[in-house]
Amino acid sequence: MRSPATSLKAMNHLDKLRLWGKAIRVMASKHQAVQLPKEGQPDAGLTRDYSQNPLHRFKKPGSKNYQNIYPPSATLHLSNIPSSCTEEDIKEAFTSNNFEVKAFKFFPVYCFLLYPLTINNSKDRKMALLQLSSVEEAVLALIKMHNHQLSESNHLRVSFSKSNI
């Protein structure tokens, strides 16, 4: 982890979380650093560096992603949804991967014009909330559906939500 604070947040949110029917344990290591194997040396699959992975949401220090880290919940926050996607398209993407969608709601789009605040009812809805039957199912859905390709240039971003539907 980048800092002790992010490590503590991960431990608090993930320790004893149920995944594949078992509780996972997340705790502080007695080691201060992870020694990655040198180039070309075997690592027995015990260590892996994800710092340059394109799915890594926290590469940029101070990113707004740091402000939106919430504990696992049955409600997922979906973003990077192309305007061509309908509610049915997104639900189908989850159900075809064996997730039962309990509720779905697009975020309203607010347009700031010169005068009053108006709600744009067009198809320009880039974010939504999706509720599944349990926290464990939502964790599995986040693992499976984050970076799911929705269009030629849009990959779904999935995170836990602080809100319910």
Domains of the chain from N-terminus onward: 1-29 (no CATH), 75-160 (3.30.70.330)
**78-106 pLDDT, tens per residue?**
999 999 999 999 999 999 999 999 999 99
The per-residue pLDDT for 55 is 76
Strand residues in the chain grouped as ranges (E)? 18-19, 22-23, 75-79, 101-106, 109-112, 117-120, 128-132, 157-160
pTM metric for this prediction:
0.81
**142-160 pLDDT, tens per residue?**
999 999 999 999 999 999 9
Q: Rounded to an integer, what distance in angstroms lies between the CA atom of residue 84 and that of residue 112?
A: 23
> Six-digit token pair at 143?
């693992």
For the chain, the residue count is: 165
Ranges of H-type helices in 19-134: 87-95
**24-56 pLDDT, tens per residue?**
999 988 888 888 888 888 777 778 777 788 777
> Six-digit token pair at 145?
């559906």
Name the phi and psi angles at 93, rounded to 5.
Answer: -60, -40
